[in-house]
Homo-oligomer: A and B are copies of this chain.
Amino acid sequence: MQSHSSTQSERIRPDDLPADNLKPTRRATARKYNHLFAIHAKSKASCLTNQDSTEQPSYAGFRNLMVLMLVVSNLRLMIENIKKYGVLICIRCHDYRRQDVVYGALLYFLVPCHLLIAYFIELAAAQQAKSDMARKKKSDAQGEDREQEKRDFQVAWYSIAVAHAVNATLNLIIASTVVYFYINHPGIGTIIEMHAVIVWLKVCSYAFANRDLRHAYLYPDATTPLPELYNSCPYPRNISLSNLSYFWWAPTLVYQPVYPRTERIRWTFVFKRMAEVLGLSITIWIASAQYAVPLLQNSLDHMANLNLLSIMERVMKLSTISLFCWLAGFFALFQSFLNALAEVMRFGDREFYSDWWNVSSIRFYWTSWNKPVYHFMKRHIYSPLVSRGVPPKVAQVLVFVFSGFLHELLVGVPTHNILWVAFAGMMWQIPLIFLTDPLQKAKSRTAKVAGNLIFWISFCLVGQPLAALLYFFAWQAKYGSTSKMHQKTS
């Protein structure tokens, strides 16, 4: 195939394919001594022995193999599951009571009313501010001192704050009470509770932001100007029903009189995103009905016996499905749903998350996976605390305590079990943050990968499935396998 004279100096490489480099013209000279050309012409190390980084082989093929193995092993588990349980997906089998739907619908309309009440409170405050302004202009009290100003403002804010606090707290108390005592179905309960918490956060942001706007209106200060963006809608013009309605539907939890807006609504974009929401919701529903529920159910015995090896095995098996549901749910909510909503509202800032999957520190996970909540915490809790002299580390801990309460509210209330596991989970983030912070700052790639692995293990492979197991276990311990709630509460 090659004349031995040329082969001697050439290395045999996989791309020196017989068929390719055998030119008909060379065949005559190659005819002689085919069995003799020097295959082993030079000393050469094996490619896996070779420590020289320039000659290291690529391992891209093993990455492809890894993806393939993940797909195949999960396909296999799906076949195993279908052979064991048959098809468990059933649309008519959903066990919710008429009472759940009625209370759910009622709350769905009642909760936003608290935003309306907040509007009326702000409307009264704005009237008051306008008359104060008129009086101030008349008396032309230029000599009045800054401290007196502040005291006057604080007295007025005190009563407004009480009104807002009563309104907001009532929203949360009413919704949580109804969900805890009268809505049995945990899915409906979670949606209602989440709605109530979102509206509660919006009411708080609306009240705080308007307080600052009012202060800036009454006592303008050239050294701290308002953001230029807000100039198109100055206080008190922003206290209007249309402005509030926009905030009510906008995909954000922090109130601004004006938001960056897009030019027009791209309806194809909206429909694509909504199709994603629909597709992913169905996928998640199938995944939980077919894979998570039987898994949770047959984990109960192991949990009750406190067999550690078995619990580990169940948590590991559950972690795949919970991770899948979590990733699909994240995409459906933060990418598809919020983008669709933002498009319809022509809301410009679509940064609902950043690339949290690459984080090396748990801190960055919490600042990047859920930007709407992070923005609320930053603007209305952390930053005011720090500006009042609270040390930043303490303020961070307080943010996590607050966030822990919200998480417990969102998980414990709809499942009718205030276990404080969700709260403890949030508290557990604090030591993890201080453990992983050095890894993010480290220069070495290994440290960053280690931080990323700690994040995935602590959060997705251990935290979530363990919490799901605990709440499911508590639910079953309280209600048995199906809803006995009705007999108990009514």
Contact = CB atoms under 8 A, between A and B. Distances in A.
B254 A39 contact: yes
Interface stretch (A97-105, A183-191, A357-365, A478-486): A357-365
Contacts of A320: 69, 72-73
B363 A40 contact: no
Given A18-B392, A27-B387, A216-B33, A262 B43 contact: yes
A349 B40 contact: yes
A38 B353 contact: no
B260 A40 contact: yes
Q: Which of A5, A13, A355, A380 has the most CB of B within 10 A?
A: A355
Contacts of A334: 46
A36 B358 contact: no
A461 to B, nearest CB: 6
A306 interface: no
B224 A14 contact: no
A209 B32 contact: no
Interface in A28-56: 29-49
A248 B213 CA distance: 92
Interface residues of A, number: 136
B34 A349 contact: no
Contacts of A38: 227, 229-230, 256
Given A72-B316, A213-B36, A358-B60, A83 B259 contact: no
A354 to B, nearest CB: 5
A62 interface: yes
A323 B208 CA distance: 61
Contact of A254 (B15, B32, B40): B40
Contact of A313 (B63, B79, B338): B79
B227 A7 contact: yes
Contacts of A39: 252, 254, 256, 349, 375, 378-379
Given A313-B80, A358-B58, A392-B19, A34 B212 contact: yes
Interface stretch (A172-180, A192-200, A450-458): A450-458
A38 B213 CA distance: 12
Interface string A306-342: 0001101100110110010000000100110011000
B354 A14 contact: yes
A57 interface: yes
A396 interface: yes
A61 interface: yes
Contacts of A140: none
A304 interface: no
6 nearest interchain CB pairs? A43-B348, A61-B357, A35-B208, A1-B383, A57-B355, A76-B316
27 contacts: A8-B227, A8-B228, A8-B229, A11-B351, A14-B356, A15-B364, A27-B386, A35-B208, A35-B384, A36-B209, A36-B212, A36-B227, A37-B227, A38-B227, A40-B256, A43-B261, A44-B351, A46-B334, A46-B339, A47-B353, A60-B358, A65-B323, A65-B357, A72-B319, A73-B316, A75-B316, A76-B313
Interface of A: 1-5, 7-8, 11-15, 17-19, 22, 27, 29-49, 57-70, 72-76, 79-80, 83, 205, 208-209, 211-213, 215-216, 221, 223-230, 252, 254, 256, 259-262, 309-310, 312-313, 316-317, 319-320, 323, 331, 334-335, 338-339, 347-359, 363-364, 367-368, 371, 375, 378-380, 382-384, 386-387, 392-393, 395-396, 449, 452-453, 456-457, 460-461
